[in-house]
Chains A and B, each alone.
Chain A
Amino acid sequence: MNKRSTALFMACLLIFSACGSAGEQGLQGERGEKGEAGEVSQAAIEAAVDAALAEEKAEVGGSLVIYSGRKESLVSDVITAFAEETGVSVEVRYAKSAALAGTIALEGAISPADVFLSQDPVSLGIVAKEGLFDVLPQNILDNVPKWAVDQRGYWVGTSGRSRALVVDTRDVMDSELPKDIYGLNDEKFRGRLGLAPTNSSFIAMVSCMIEQDGEEKVAEWLTAINDLGYTEYPKNSPQVAAADAGELDIGMINHYYTLRTLAENGDSPIKNVFLDSGCGAMVMPAGAGILSSSQNKTAAMAFIEYLHSNSAQEHFTNTVFEFPLVAGVTPNELLPSIDTLNSPEDLNWSALALWQEKAVELIAKAGF
């Protein structure tokens, strides 16, 4: 009996020691000791080694965990360049901005993230609302226009984007198009609309609509759009591809995917339509903030500064086709002048964040 028991005991020990070494603390991990999660400390060791190896060119060093709500294909070049220039070892977790904001809110003090890079201000506002961001230094906030920063300084914009409609000009005439987003609720658009209901920017737009026009009107509009029959997409970019392929007439998107397609193929029959007023014309910043629980604040700050550097801003405008936010960087020629857009003025991003949950509920309730 004893030998057998010993063997099984050893087997169990093996299991738990393996768990322990992978997770640092094993199954009985103590709660709430921030920064001790296995991944971080392991990354820290690797970072130390990397930093030692790359000492001559490393200016900053250390390690950084970025939660990125922006797509890998849009930001990975910038992040790689940052890592190479500064010697910081960077790990990135890509997911949707809203999901990451929710994740950070849930993680609270134990969040492994140092920086949250979001595609929309509402997701940033959720983390700010939970009190999980550090206030950024004034010189960083001053890099960009006032409309693109959090009023309390918890996050800063890194590039600008506008809500827009992508239109297949073969099937849609300019005269058909509405003045604002509510105009899409019209029989003539039955079966012709596309949208991405879980896209963070779409939710941000709906949050804006609730703030500006009231819950009731928005609920009515969402139900009406659903009744008209719409095509659901997981993201914005496939709507542009669908319009380009002739499968979709009108999609509710952010402006830059259309420009990307047009830059690759000048003959593409699609175009952006910027609405005349209301939240359908909203211009919003993508931005970033530093988590209070971060143990790597120097590297985090260096990263945000890097996002405001000329090379990063030029990448955002010339490769991603967004509006650069830092003075002195010329917007790509395919972009309209940002002054010609009719975004609602003085949007309070933290107020919009308060509506996010309601927006999600209304979207679900309308049957999307």
Chain B
Amino acid sequence: MNQYSLKDVKTPKILFFSNIIILFVFLMPIGYLVYRFINFSRSYTSFFNSWNVLDLLGNTFFLFLTVVVLSLIIGLAVSIITVRFDIYRPKIFFTLSVLPLVIPSYIGALTYVSAFSPKGLFVQIFSIFGVSEISGIEGFFGSCVVLTLFTYPYVVLICSSALRNLDSTVEDAARSLGKNKFQIYTQVVIPRLKKPIIFSSLLVGLYVISDFGAVSLMRYSTLTKAIYSYYELKIDGDPVIFYSSLLIVMALLISFVQRGTELSNSSKISGTPRIPERSQLRLKSKFFVYLFLTVVIILGLILPISVLSYWLVRGLMSGNSVRAVFGGVVGSLSTSLIAAIFSVIIATPIIIMVAQYKSKFGNFLERIMLALYGLPHIAVGVSILFITIKIFPGIYQSFTALIVSYLIVFLPQAIGAGQASMEQVKFSYLDASNGLGNSKFQTFYKITLPLIYRGLFAGGALVFLSTMKELPQTLLLRPTGLNTMAVDIWSYASEGLFTQAAFSSFILLAISAIPTYILSTRNLTK
């Protein structure tokens, strides 16, 4: 596609070395876990005998599988309805169904646990209908409900934009062969969405296995919950290292399987793509479609927001004062902003290296960064904790160590967003610029940067959002005295101070809404 290739141009040394350093820092957490893993003083079988490893692995895997399937079903249904069917104001329904993405799973879980507790809001409201007792929502079921509700928007975001660009000629052909609407979707449309489906299930799957807040609040024993429990009991226990290693292996396996399936390309259809008309719905199906959308939006968005509002209003009316949350806000904003800025600064040389210098090292770097996408936060946090104590005590419990840990987990998001925009930078532009006598830096400044800065900005916004919501790494690594809103909410909730938790949650959601809005106005998959 590109007329010119810079294949033969040598990678500038400084680019090479800065990327080597970045790579080294990024591989350090895994390296340390591997080092500890092979140096265990006890035998591996002793873990299986005394630490419930099989149960935890089974629970984690089962949850992963169930949530991925449920999210795909809900997410695909919402995508198809909002893109292909003639419903009232599809954009509003689309936006409302994507919004639960802003709610961190631990806030979502908190509201569900409380609303459906034996004497919670649900029973109070429905007592007029004779509901007097419910058994509460927790464990596997509770974790599934909450994680599905807060991850299906990933599927909607990714699959709906693919669906919008899907050529409908094949569907027309299928229709002419006598297939009905349902068959067309199951046999033609969904199979052709294979790539976005696999990609979104990867996102959901990685989210589920590294989620810590929801499973803890739902009291469902997964690897992440076990890691934190052991950390709270005895930090230097080998189990913390052992479980973290298992969790990382699981995440890498999931990524690996996903990349494997991506290689088999779906067949391309030649001819002019045709975007289909929205199909009309019969009255009866219309009823079910609206009912479905309403239930999803109520469960994912309205219920959690209502519970938070209820806590806040009830607390304030009964005279609970809302303590100043200034420290948490400052902590969250400063960590998130700095993580976002550094992610962009560090991502830029990597993106340039991978896109413009097709060297072996560039390819290697790209693969590593892809593989590192979605490393479980708590496992990275544990590893950085040990590394800073044992190897770099100078930055132990420092802001630096915390930011490095955030970056290791979130940098791939910035790289992904930047890489997409890099496609606009044609080699011919660079060549022309060189021909005009511009130096490489001038070319970067005048040609590349103006073309990719939007992508980089989107990447920074993603990292900002992720850092705002981040809990386990902050709990493990924060400097003494630094609070974030996520940590505040977590500790208020565990002390039962719900008014306070609700107040902080609202501020967190309000601030998160800004980058989410910016991101949702762009097409992220391009």
Residues 1-27 of chain A: 1 if any B CB is under 8 Å from the residue's CB, otherwise 0?
111111111011011001100111111
What residues of chain A lie closer than 8 Å to B399, measured between beta carbons? Answer: 22-23, 38
Q: Which of A12, A31, A110, A241 contacts B18 (CB 8 A)?
A: A12
- Name the B residues within 8 Å of A15 (CB-CB): 342, 345-346
Query: Provided the pairs A4-B439, A198-B233 are in contact, do residues A367 and B52 lie with their beta carbons within 8 angstroms?
Result: yes
> What are 25 A-B contacts defined by CB distance under 8 Å?
A4-B440, A5-B15, A11-B18, A11-B348, A11-B349, A19-B404, A23-B395, A24-B394, A28-B392, A29-B393, A31-B391, A37-B393, A38-B399, A39-B480, A91-B480, A105-B235, A106-B235, A106-B236, A198-B229, A198-B232, A235-B495, A238-B494, A356-B234, A361-B50, A364-B50
Query: For B229, what are the chain A residues with a Cβ–Cβ distance below 8 Å?
Result: 197-198
Residues of chain A from 232 to 264 with CB closer than 8 A to chain B in the complex: 232, 234-235, 237-238, 241, 245-247
Pairwise interchain contact B496-A110, C-beta atoms closer than 8 A: no
Chain B's closest residue to A247 (CB) is B118
Contact of B389 among A28, A110, A247, A365 (CB under 8 A): A110
B479 within 8 A of A: yes
A37: contacting residue among B55, B117, B346, B397, CB under 8 A: B397
Report B-chain residues with C-beta under 8 Å of the C-beta of A232: 219
B209-241 CB mask vs A (1 if < 8 Å, else 0) is 000000010010000000001111111110100
In the complex, how many angstroms separate the beta carbon of A44 from the nearest chain B beta carbon?
A: 13
Interface residues of B in 441-456 (CB under 8 A from A): 441-444
Asked whether any CB of chain A lies closer than 8 Å to the CB of B491, the reply is: yes
Q: Mark B306-350, 1 if CB is under 8 A from A, else 0.
A: 000000000000000000000000000000000000100110110
- Nearest CB on A from B323, distance (A): 11
A92 touches B (CB below 8 Å): yes
Is A32 engaged at the interface, CB distance under 8 Å to the other chain? yes
Q: Does A305 contact B (CB under 8 A)?
A: no
Partner of B12, one of A1, A14, A98, A99: A1
> Does A139 belong to the interface (CB within 8 Å)?
no
A170 to B389, CA, bound (A): 51
A112 at the interface (CB under 8 A from B): yes
Which of chain A's residues have a CB closer than 8 A to the CB of B342?
A: 15, 18
Contact A39 B233 (CB under 8 A): no
Complex Cα gap A247–B230 (Å): 28
The reply on A93 being an interface residue by CB < 8 A is yes
Which of B18, B234, B439 touches A102 (beta carbons < 8 Å)? B234
Q: Which residue of A lies closest to B234 (CB)?
A: A102
Q: Are B395 and A71 in contact (CB under 8 A)?
A: no
**Residue among B13, B391, B442, B480 making CB contact with A5, cutoff 8 Å:** B13
- Main SS class of interface, A: helix
Q: Given A4-B12, A5-B14, A39-B479 in contact, is the A112-B396 Cβ separation under 8 Å?
A: yes
| Further pairs besides A23-B399, A38-B400, A360-B237: 6, Cβ < 8 Å | A6-B14, A27-B25, A29-B393, A33-B394, A65-B480, A102-B237
| Residue of B230, B398, B404, B441 touching A39 (CB-CB under 8 A) | B398
Given contacts A12-B21, A39-B480, A112-B397, contact A27 B392 (CB under 8 A): yes
Contact bitstring B396-426, A, C-beta under 8 A = 1, else 0? 1111110110000000000000000000000
A interface residues (Cβ-Cβ under 8 A, vs B): 1-9, 11-12, 14-15, 18-19, 22-33, 36-39, 65, 71-73, 91-96, 98-99, 101-103, 105-107, 110, 112, 197-198, 203, 232, 234-235, 237-238, 241, 245-247, 356-357, 360-361, 363-365, 367
How far, in angstroms, from A3 to B25 measured CA to CA in the complex? 26
- Which chain A residues lie closer than 8 Å to B349 at the CB level? 8, 11
Measured between beta carbons, the chain B residues less than 8 angstroms from A39 are 397-398, 479-481
B395 touches which one: A29, A234, A238 (CB < 8 A)?
A: A29
Interface of B is mostly: helix
What's the minimum C-beta distance from B13 to chain A, rounded to whole angstroms? Answer: 7
A37 proximity list for chain B (CB < 8 A): 393-398
Q: Is the CB of B235 within 8 A of A71?
A: no
Closest chain-B Cβ to A88's Cβ sits at a distance in Å of: 14
Asked if B51 CB lies within 8 Å of chain A CBs, one says yes
Which of chain B's residues 20-69 have a Cβ closer than 8 Å to chain A? 21, 25, 50-52, 55
Task: Please name all residues of chain A whose beta carbon is closer than 8 Å to the beta carbon of B481 when the two chains form the complex.
Answer: 39, 91-93
Complex Cα spacing A25 to B398, Å: 11
A residues within 8 A CB of B393? 29, 31-33, 37, 110
Residues B442 and A3 in contact, CB atoms below 8 Å apart: yes
Chain A min CB distance to B295 (Å):
28
Contact of B175 with A by CB under 8 A: no
In the assembly, what is the distance between CA of A316 and CA of B389, in Å?
34
Q: Is the CB of B480 within 8 A of A93?
A: yes
Residue of B nearest to A74 (CB): B495
B119 touches A247 (CB 8 A): yes
Contact B496 A241 (CB under 8 A): yes
In contact, B394 and A23 (Cβ under 8 angstroms)? yes
Point out the residues of chain B lying under 8 angstroms from A235, CB to CB: 494-495
A72 to B398, CA, bound (A): 22
Complex alpha-carbon distance, A106 and B234, angstroms: 10
Known A-B contacts A1-B439, A96-B232; A73 and B13 likewise in contact (beta carbons under 8 Å): no
A5 to B444, CA, bound (A): 11
A37 to B399, CA, bound (A): 11
Q: How far is the CA of A183 from the CA of B120 in the complex (A)?
A: 32
Inter-chain CA distance A241–B498, complex, in Å, is 13
Shortest Cβ distance from A20 into B: residue:
B400
Interface centre among B401, B494, B495 (most CB of A within 10 A): B495
Contacts of B119 in A (CB 8 A): 245-247
- Inter-chain contact B396/A107, CB cutoff 8 Å: yes
Q: Are A19 and B395 CB-contacts (below 8 A) given A4-B441, A198-B233?
A: yes
**Nearest-Cβ distance from residue B334 to partner chain A, whole angstroms:** 11
- Which B residues are CB-close (under 8 A) to A241? 496
Rounded to whole angstroms, the CA-CA distance of A23 and B397 in the bound complex is 9
Given the interface contacts A3-B439, A99-B231, A360-B233, does A38 sit within 8 Å of B12 by beta carbon?
A: no
How far in angstroms is the closest Cβ of chain B from A190? 15
In the docked arrangement, what's the CA distance between A70 and B13, Å?
53
The docked-state distance in angstroms from the alpha carbon of A131 to that of B346 is 43
Q: Is the CB of A1 within 8 A of B440?
A: yes
Which one of B21, B235, B391 lies within 8 Å of A103 (CB-CB)?
B235
Q: Give Cα distance in the complex from A157 to B420, angstroms.
A: 61
Residue of A nearest to B349 (CB): A8
CB pair B12–A5 under 8 Å, yes or no, is yes
In whole angstroms, what is the CA distance A116 to B346 when docked? 39
Beta-carbon contacts of B491-515 to A below 8 Å, as 1s and 0s?
Answer: 1001111000000000000000000
Is A8's CB under 8 angstroms from B14's CB? yes
Q: How far is the CB of A305 from chain B (nearest CB, A)?
A: 22
Whether A3 touches B496, Cβ cut-off 8 Å, given contacts A91-B481, A110-B396, A360-B233, is no
Q: Which of B219, B389, B494, B495 contacts A107 (CB 8 A)?
A: B389
Give B145-181 as 1s and 0s: 1 = Cβ < 8 Å from A's Cβ atoms.
Answer: 0000000000000000000000000000000000000
Q: How far is the CB of A43 from chain B (nearest CB, A)?
A: 8
Instruction: Tell me if B394 and A19 are in contact (CB < 8 A).
Output: no
From 100 to 115 in chain B, residues with beta carbon under 8 angstroms from any chain A beta carbon are none
Q: Is the CB–CB distance between A98 and B52 below 8 Å? A: no
Pick the most buried of B119, B219, B394, B395: most chain A CB atoms within 10 A of its CB. Answer: B394
Nearest A residue to B228 via CB reads A198
CA distance A38 to B397 in the complex (A): 9
Cβ-neighbour of A23 out of B18, B51, B398 (below 8 A): B398
**A9 and B52 contact, CB distance less than 8 A:** no
Knowing A3-B442, A19-B400, A241-B496, say if A38 contacts B395 (CB, 8 Å).
Answer: yes
Contact status B495-A9, CB under 8 Å: no
- What is the CA–CA distance of A40 and B229 in the complex, to the nearest angstrom? 28
- Nearest neighbor of B55 in chain A, beta-carbon distance: A367
